Chains A and B, each alone.
Chain A
Amino acid sequence: MYKFLTKAVAVGSVAVLALGAAACGNTREGEGTSGDAPKGFAADSLIGVALPSKTSENWVLAGDLFTNGLKEAGFKSDVQYAGASTTVADQQGQISSMVTKGAKVIVIGATDAAQLSTQVKQAKESGAVVIAYDRLITNTGDLDYYIAFDNFKVGQLQGQALLDGMKAKKATGPWTIELFSGSPDDNNSAVFFNGAMDVLKPLIDKGEVVVGSGQKDIKQTAIQGWKAEGAQQRMDSLLTSTYTSNKTLDGVLSPNDTLARAILTSVKGAGKPTPVVTGQDSEVESVKSIMAGQQYSTINKDTRKLVAETITMIKALQTGGTPQVNDTKTYNNGVKVVPSFLLPPVIVTKANAAEAYANDPKLAPLTK
């Protein structure tokens, strides 16, 4: 037993010595380097791109554009999508891995914009620049830039299109409308909605525009997860509760194309005349619908442009410069105002569709 004890003590001491010895030679990352602003990085550095699950064609397109664009620009890229059922946790892991791999810039299209602050902090502390792509990441002081289409403007354009469309059908008011908004866990939903209400509210107050069901609050109008069936269900119940008699529905504010088509399906199913319905994203089916005179409008947010601008930002960061931003006031994520670069969206109706999609190989043929 004694022999054993001496051995145990010996091993223990070796352990302590090893700890001590190793301690001398170690310098930890972040010691002495903290506080220095990043001044550029190697031209072939790794750029991480973390996107939500592949549920929308826009994200798939964005991923492909990033992979190719970053390669052309000479960077190494790591483009990742979150899984369909484990989105938030996947994205958290992916961002951590990008940090481990030493990514210099991490572009994040957030799955849940409020649940990434730990990873953003981790990225920032490792010296990476974090760019929120399309969705503003909230609850963090470590986000560097935000790049997106001007979503408030999107809302305003939708509101205006709704009015224009209704005026074209019926010259004078009052017009009866219903309001829809996007998923409550998506930061953009409120921005779209507020933009639209910026246009519609004065008229509602004046009584020229009437919300038939009276549901004007964003909470009442939200569709969880941007789900088509959610919008269809809500529209079904609105039609049965409010539009059973001869009351006509003139227009519906829909935040995107998927919901717009669901709303139209519901209205058709109830045998009501087609109202003016707005949209967004220029989805193929909706462009067809617009050309067929069903959906009234959509918004063209050219993913190509957005990705191209993001890569321009990354290039600026690589040379040590400051990327161009055009809004340093609006986008407060709860902790700080995030410097943003906003691209203007374009409203598309049947009238200007051919012109708007002239450069889009997939949509252009539909408008002929």
Chain B
Amino acid sequence: MSAAPVLLEMRSITKTFPGVKALADVNLVVREGEIHAICGENGAGKSTLMKVLSGVYPYGDYSGEIRYRGEEARFGDIRASENSGIVIIHQELALIPGMSITENIFLGNEPRKGVAIDWKTAQRRALELMKLVGLKEDPDTLIKDIGVGKQQLIEIAKAFAKDVKLLILDEPTAALNESDSQQLLDLLREFKTQGITSIIISHKLNEIEAIADSITILRDGKTIETLDVKADGVNEDRIVRGMVGRDMSSRFPDYTPNVGEVFFEVRDWTVRHPIAHDRLVCKQANFSVRRGEVVGFAGLMGAGRTELAMSLFGRSYGTWLSGQVFKDGRQIQLRTVSEAIENGLAYVSEDRKAIGLNLLDDIKTSIVAAKPAKIARHGVIDEVAEHRVAEEYRQELRIKTPSVDEGISKLSGGNQQKVVLAKWMFTDPDLLILDEPTRGIDVGAKFEIYGIIHRLAEQGKGVVVISSELPELIGLCDRIYTVFEGTITGEVARADADPERLMKQMTTTKKMPV
């Protein structure tokens, strides 16, 4: 492998943002025809490095040297790097939903005949390119009408329309399901045989282990090491060690559960879809939570877990049809969000950027946002108390920020999630519903969040965790409910939980004997 000539070399790349050194002396060597993975926790500088390479940050904006195909490259913009055959496919797809596949593939790069676009050629080439990436679609199909997996392939086809030599994929499988991901990885292997070099950035370490030839690990904007997968006998744990700088003996903190009485109970909870009136998103759901217990909800995407949680939380989703909620043996009403908060419920959303946080806020206002009355007198906010509270949570949850006056948008995903947790811990809840609490968060922060969940349980609170990652649920929860198509299909105690059993219950309509 190492015999192959060097295609790209980035030497002591340093990139500074106001106040932050995003990259410090980073080195990267990519050889021709290999699949090179770049790993690192969120904020380690992976995306920044790729933006430097692709000319998003133009020459002069960083220091260091890029050597590409033996010459020094000074890209002034994306177009310049694309002309040299370097194409980057970003995490957020850059496709226009209302345009056809052909139009998208050739967007900004349209084949012309005189001044007019030569649609005939475009369609013919679109078909060729789609064949290359293994897609069989009508080239006139609108992007919005095909699935995310196929959209990702279209992005790659688009890259090939530009005569790609070096393909960079930023988290290409983040939004894909198992089979689509597999297809994409197979495609990358296929390209490899054709001599195309790829750089892949991914959090999914098992994928990297499976596909990459070599791995460069970044941490805190610095190159930690470059591993040759075959020669060094790299496995997931080895990568994790490089990323976090130590051995992760366990992915979950030590914890001895101390579960008390049932204090929260939901009976016959039935909710209708907000638009499709003939569809029920929750069908007579029954579940209970004990004090000090961590309860998991397992289910596939769209199974109705989030819908159940949000409809409980002040009817924030769908139309409530029937069902009661009991807390400490007494029936409670949860008609509005404020009522839910008053009754000790807290809901940490799965989509913290879209509906969990006001990204314009600073840390301290976000933390008190759900119950400002606690630090206010006669409606006037006590700024000293606000600052004190925020400072306490900053220390308790170890939110990494120079000051609680900083803007939320400057924080990394993990730290934003800690702010959301702090926001809901501040409301003194008895029951916290955490919807995908570790989505998009790196390994280290996940570990910390598990610790927080355990501490909450130790304080006698009930914690409901909704997650798509079965190992996470099994490692974290005392009890797991499975959900399929709006129905709770089963309940598994921690001791009996294994991924196969859960998966089986997550994909069947039959109710398992409890």
Question: Is A–B contact present in the complex under a CB 8 A cutoff?
Answer: no
Binding site for A on B (CB under 8 A): none
Binding site for B on A (CB under 8 A): none
